[in-house]
A and B are shown apart, each in its own frame.
Chain A
Amino acid sequence: MKLLLFFILIISLPSFAKINHDDPKWLKLLRYQKGLTGYTSEVDSKEFFFHKEGKTNPDKELNATLNAFSEKENRCRFPARAIILDRAQNLEIDCPEYKKFIDKVNLKSVSLIFSSYFIEKPASAFGHTFFRLRSKDSGKYNNELLDYGVDYSAQVTTNNPLLYGIYGIIGGFKGNFKMMPYYYKVREYNDTESRDLWDYELNFNEDDLRLFMAHLYEMNQAYFDYFYFTENCSYHILEFVDAIRPDWKLMEDLDLFVPPVQTIYALFKEKNIVRDVNFRPSLYKNIEYRLKSLNTDEKSTFEKLVEDKIKLEQTDNVKVIDAYSDYLDFKYSPFFTQKNSPEYAEFNDKKYDVNLKRSQIEQESETLSFEGEKKMAPEKGHETKRIRIAPFYRDHKIGGEFEYRFSFHDFMDKKAGFIPFSSTEMGRIETNFYDDKFRLDNFTVVSVDAIRPLSELSNSLSWRFSFGLRDYRPTIKQEYAPFVDISLGQAVSFGNFAMALFLRAENSYWGTFDRDLRIGLGPEILVIYNNDQWSMKINFKRLHFYSQLDRYRSLLELEMRYHVSKNAGISVGYERETSFDDKYVTNFYWHF
């Protein structure tokens, strides 16, 4: 009997197991990174550590934590640490505040949400990730709007856009995790920014879910210096998952620079990490699909409604009215956050009228199916770094090009997972070997092509933009000049085809001639074709240069590329440029 009592006493006392300070669970939970000088935690708040050297010393922090944990209050502040040090501890009974938090969320599963790119809002070119915490009752009623969203973002402390930019890059803001009703996230991304939400449900077991909640609770006391390019939202979200499941090794192949989609790719490295993929359409997708479901007559009625040529009373067609209603939501979405603007008032009036009309018709609305979207889901996309090796033939000589691209996607790459007809490239270095000489051809810092075809929904201008450093006299001696090229125009598209007409301006700064600034102006035509296997482009431009060397220059480029696999392609190309011989080229591409 005594023995039994003793035994009960032993198991009921919190007894903290000594784990090694280099246990991955410990290191990842406290965000320690191994550097040249030893460990440093990415967490920058002092309250997060029990030992004053805790930020740089996982061993001392572990011992200090074990000491501090003799007090219940400390265990309750850091429930995840308590769990990994002593799995038997029942924190939910011991810590009322923590229990309230657990009960409120009532967690059933965790999803990593990717809000995708959307060409109409180039701000979204790289995507964004955050968590959805699905609650048990939401699972029952499918009321996902009542779930919680958790994101990592910086606390902005300035309205000065320049400081805003600088702070974002050098770590001048404090970043932390925030929790909010999931509907905030839906309204923010689906509606206001019209971005699709991809929902990747993580394969967490009960223990994982418990640790997740505990860790979220303790992260409430942590902040990090925010770094836009490296320690950004997606990096911290993925690190969070990594802390819960170190065995998934999510961070292992991650680069220093983290485009959010790379964190999605990391989830698919192994088959068992993502349990389910779901899609939540943006306002744009909704209206796009509604329009597709209209026949010619209905479409013409819809157009008349949009152009105010007929009144709402003149139609009772539910499909048309629903399309018109969705169209209003999309069209006025930029004003959703400007409640005092005249546009918002106009939207409110129109919305009221169309919904009043709709409420008087009994018929059910058509249910749209977005299953087809999954074929082009973000995780299907190629890797974002690329190299190209290209033997070419020009003027009876063989040469070779070598290109390295740091990031991200251009419209000739395989299109799955990315915005059709658009490019966002950073850090592209092109070199060539020709005529026994090796030279740097150009270094393009950024290159963006936003080809935005005209449609019922949009009449935005299309544009191309790039800047960097270029060798301007490839046949004579090497002469580098910084350049900024801009094209502005209109595009149309039919299925897999897009065609754009631009006015192009090429500007470069030469320090060596009488006139330092060299400006070229002229028309440009771009034709693109993309299907799942093939990409093709025809690009022609003719520029008139305003400099002491006043002259015209024309350039015709053709390329046809075959996508051998997701991350490899081969192509043939032809180039004809004023005062050069024709060039024939074969390209081999690898994404990695």
Chain B
Amino acid sequence: MKKMLALTAGIMMSGSVMAAHGPAGCGLGSILFKGKDGLVFNVLAATFNGTSGNQTFGMSTGTLGCEDAKTATVAAVSFIDNNKVALSNDIARGEGQTLDAYLTLIKADTANKMALKKNFSKIFVKGHTSQEIHSAISNVIKL
């Protein structure tokens, strides 16, 4: 019954689907269709937002799905991978939630954040990988 109704609703609305950016939903369809321009792609990306998963976030350290955020070095490196911009903002400012979370993750809550700030240029060298950034931070706070 529900499926019948959904189908009917679907057919009723499929016009709207083709037509407007507006009635979209949830998720990251816009990412799934990244790089493809044109109304059709935009509209579909917009409209079927809710149907995409998080596959686009599977980055270099294999963080797809239920990656464990709280344990092991791989989690710290993958945290940097996914929060690099915010982490570099926080270290440049000497404070912030992303930096706090990272320090908790590597069990260094009491680390000197000002030391990290002073050593910004040693930590964020252009072209460095997340692994290298992680090592550089560890060196600065002498883990």
Q: Which residues of A are at the interface with B, using a C-beta cutoff of 8 A?
A: 33, 35-37, 42, 104, 115, 121-129, 137, 141-146, 148, 151, 153-156, 161-162, 164-165, 167-171, 173, 175, 178-184, 187-188, 191-193, 225-234, 256-257, 260, 322, 325, 329, 336-338, 348-349, 351-352, 354-356, 358-360, 364-365, 407-408, 423-424, 426-427, 445-446, 448, 450, 465, 467, 484
B43 to chain A, nearest CB (A): 9
Q: How far, in angstroms, from A557 to B80 measured CA to CA in the complex?
A: 55
Contact of B85 with A169 in the complex, beta carbons under 8 Å: no
Closest A residue to B98 by CB, please name it: A145
Distance (whole angstroms) from the CB of B99 to the closest CB of chain A: 10
Binding site for A on B (CB under 8 A): 1-3, 5-7, 9-17, 19-36, 40-42, 44-57, 63, 65-70, 79, 82-83, 85-86, 88-89, 91-95, 97-98, 100-101, 104-105, 109, 117-118, 120-121, 124, 126
Additional A-B contacts beyond A169-B13, A178-B53, A225-B3 (20; CB < 8 A): A35-B1, A122-B22, A123-B49, A125-B46, A126-B24, A126-B25, A141-B100, A143-B97, A168-B48, A169-B7, A193-B28, A226-B51, A227-B10, A233-B27, A256-B5, A352-B126, A426-B23, A446-B16, A448-B20, A465-B22
Q: Give Cα A33 to B6, complex, Å.
A: 15
Q: Quick check: A156 and B52 within 8 Å, CB to CB?
A: yes
27 contacts between A and B (CB under 8 A): A122-B21, A124-B49, A141-B100, A145-B101, A162-B44, A168-B51, A170-B6, A171-B6, A187-B83, A192-B31, A227-B2, A232-B50, A256-B5, A351-B85, A351-B88, A352-B124, A352-B126, A355-B124, A358-B93, A359-B92, A359-B121, A364-B94, A445-B16, A446-B22, A446-B23, A467-B19, A484-B19
Question: Would you give the shortest CB distance from A367 to chain B, in whole angstroms?
Answer: 9
Count of inter-chain pairs, beta carbons less than 8 A = 271
Given the complex, which residues of B lie within 8 Å of A178, measured CB to CB? 53-54, 65-66
B93 in contact with A125 (CB, 8 Å):
no
In Å, the complex CA distance between A167 and B10 comes to: 10
The answer on a CB contact under 8 Å between B79 and A338 is no
Enumerate chain B residues within 8 angstroms of A358, measured Cβ to Cβ. Answer: 92-93
Distance, CA A121 to CA B21, complexed state (A): 9
Could you tell me if A329 and B85 are in contact, using CB atoms closer than 8 angstroms? Answer: yes
Q: Which A residues are CB-close (under 8 A) to B10?
A: 169-170, 227-229
Q: Is B40 touching A356 in the complex (CB atoms < 8 A)? A: no
Q: Is the interface of A mostly helix, strand, loop or mixed?
A: mixed
Specify the chain A residue showing the minimal Cβ separation from B117. Answer: A359
B91: shortest Cβ distance to chain A, in Å?
7
Q: How far is the CB of B53 from chain A (nearest CB, A)?
A: 5
List residues of chain A with CB within 8 A of the CB of B85. Answer: 191, 329, 336, 351
Residues in A with CB closer than 8 Å to B94 are 359, 364
Secondary structure type dominating chain B contacts:
helix
Residues of A within 8 A of B36 (CB): 161
Residue of A nearest to B114 (CB): A362
**What is the CB-to-nearest-CB distance from B125 to chain A, in angstroms, rounded to a whole number?**
9
Min C-beta distance of B118 to chain A, whole Å? 7
Residue from the list A142, A171, A230 in contact with B100, Cβ < 8 A: A142
On whether A230 and B2 interact (CB within 8 A), knowing A154-B50, A161-B41, the answer reads: yes
Contacts of B86 in A (CB 8 A): 187, 191
B16 near A260 (CB under 8 angstroms)? Answer: no
In the complex, chain A residues whose CB is within 8 Å of the CB of B42: 123
Interface pair B92/A161, CB less than 8 Å apart: no
Most A C-beta atoms less than 10 A away, residue of B51, B57, B70, B93: B51
Residues of chain B lying within 8 A (CB to CB) of residue A184: 54, 57, 82
Residue of A nearest to B13 (CB): A229
Shortest beta-carbon distance, B128 to chain A, in Å? 11
| Across-interface contacts of B7 in A (CB, < 8 A) | 169-171
Inter-chain contacts of A465 with B (CB < 8 A): 19-20, 22
In the bound complex, do residue A408 and residue B52 qualify as a contact, i.e. CB atoms below 8 Å apart?
no
| A123-B6 contact, Cβ under 8 Å, with A115-B26, A358-B92 | no
